[in-house]
Amino acid sequence: MAKVKIKFACTECGTETPKWLGKCPGCGSWNTMVEEKETVVKTQGMGSSIIQTKEKPLPIIHIESGQEQRIETTLLELNRVLGGGIVPGSLILVGGDPGIGKSTLLLQTSHALASKALTVLYISGEESVRQTRLRADRLGALTDKLYVLCETNMEQINEAIESVQPDFLVIDSIQTVYDPNVQSAPGSVSQVRECTAHFMRVAKIKGIATVLVGHVTKEGAIAGPRMLEHMVDCVLYFEGERHHSYRLLRAVKNRFGSTNEIGIFEMVEDGLREVTNPSELFLSERPLGVSGSTVVASMEGTRPVLVELQALVTTTNFPSPRRMSTGIDHNRMALIIAVLEKRMGMFLQTQDAYLNVAGGIKLDEPAVDLAAAVSIASSFRDAPTRPFDVFFGEIGLTGEVRAVSRAEQRVKEAQKLGFKRVIMPVKSLKGWTPPAGIEIIGVETVAEALAAAFG
């Protein structure tokens, strides 16, 4: 006889307790404990032939080394984010808001791999096979190597994997798949954890590159226990405003590549189209000769990107001025304002300050400090900077401008787009020769940078 056990699990971190608690003891979240029934059944388990292995432990010096083989797709932006292509046997988790284009991206990727004579199995738990065919017709993703199945039962999915023997597997989405041996509703903590663990074993043992689509919460994080992100090899977030056509694919975890890479796509009628030059995209609507607007050369992984920073400083009648930022860490903005007040003598205590990164991109590297400081000073003084200036550099608490990495790539990107001057840390000029046709101004302090910008 099966024994039913009642437990409570946190939907944020997966912590389990025998009784309900208002606050999770694992992550400290409130009202996240949900009731689940766990049935202990002595069985061989579904799909046991898939997850069994006879490999023995080996000394690490006897294991062959070398670069991971990768499967390159025709989507160069996706290859960039993944570190060069899809690694066979890897487990990838893709999250994003509803309707953002996750299924479109994966169906285009499946078609690209199937066109290279690879067998692809696309399992949808939310759409019928006819709905998937309609999307494939619109995208032009029709090939006999792409198999489609509408199924949510893990046992039936295992039979399909054994029958098709795919090279690439897509599960859309992991919250809809359920294990009949786990007595919980689909999408619960136990179901998501067990199903993900099973797909991880399938991917590693059979060498099938597997992509799991995950729902996101209203805060933007992937729904389900936090351990879900620890179990997979790569976590990708598909971001963007539903009312805009541009989409960003960002890697927040990648065991086979950089975690700072982004891929940029444009949603058009026939699917997602790659944006090969994002700097032109982010600067396409930039106004010239307006105070508070500057251009920063930022690095997103190995790619230099020029982005417009906009600042608005205005007098407030309230005793506590507002500090709001979009695309930049709020605490970093407060630090820059404090440096401008203390080191530059700007009286910002009676001023509301707003900082925005145009284009919806998020910048989290310290090299944007100098451009943010110049933008705030420009709006405060109501004095525009030169329209063809680029800024980058880290600001310290004493007002110094510190060196940043990959200065040469940032300068070359600015030159390619027609900018005339680059104001940057003087210590970043060592070890390389600036290209001809662009003026380089090295600064050591924020005062020198403002003098060069408004001189």
Instruction: Cite the annotated binding site for ATP by residue number.
Output: 96-103
What's the rounded Cα separation, in Å, for the pair 37 and 278? Answer: 49
DSSP state of 221: S
Q: In what order do the strands lie in the sheet with 33-40?
A: 16-17, 3-10, 33-40
Strand, helix or coil for residue 90 = coil
**Of 390, 422, 421, which Cα lies nearest the Cα of 306?**
390
**Of 225, 310, 205, 229, which Cα lies nearest the Cα of 36?**
225
Binding residues: 96-103
Residues in the chain, how many? 455
What's the rounded Cα separation, in Å, for the pair 199 and 212? Answer: 9
Cα dihedral sign for 271, 277, 282, 284? negative
Q: In what order do the strands lie in the sheet with 323-326?
A: 323-326, 351-357, 303-315, 293-300, 389-391, 421-425, 439-443
What's the rounded Cα separation, in Å, for the pair 453 and 385? Answer: 6
What's the rounded Cα separation, in Å, for the pair 97 and 267? Answer: 15
CA dihedral 410, 357, 346, 377 (to 10 degrees): 60
Question: Is the distance from CB of 266 to CB of 246 less than 8 angstroms?
Answer: yes
Question: Is the distance from CB of 309 to CB of 294 less than 8 angstroms?
Answer: yes
Strand, helix or coil for residue 427 = helix
Strand, helix or coil for residue 419 = coil
The residue type at 13: C
Is the preceding peptide bond at 173 cis, omega within 30 degrees of 0? Answer: yes
Q: Produce one character per residue of 100-113: b if its CB has 16 or more CB atoms within 10 Å, e if not.
A: bbbbbbbbbbbbbb
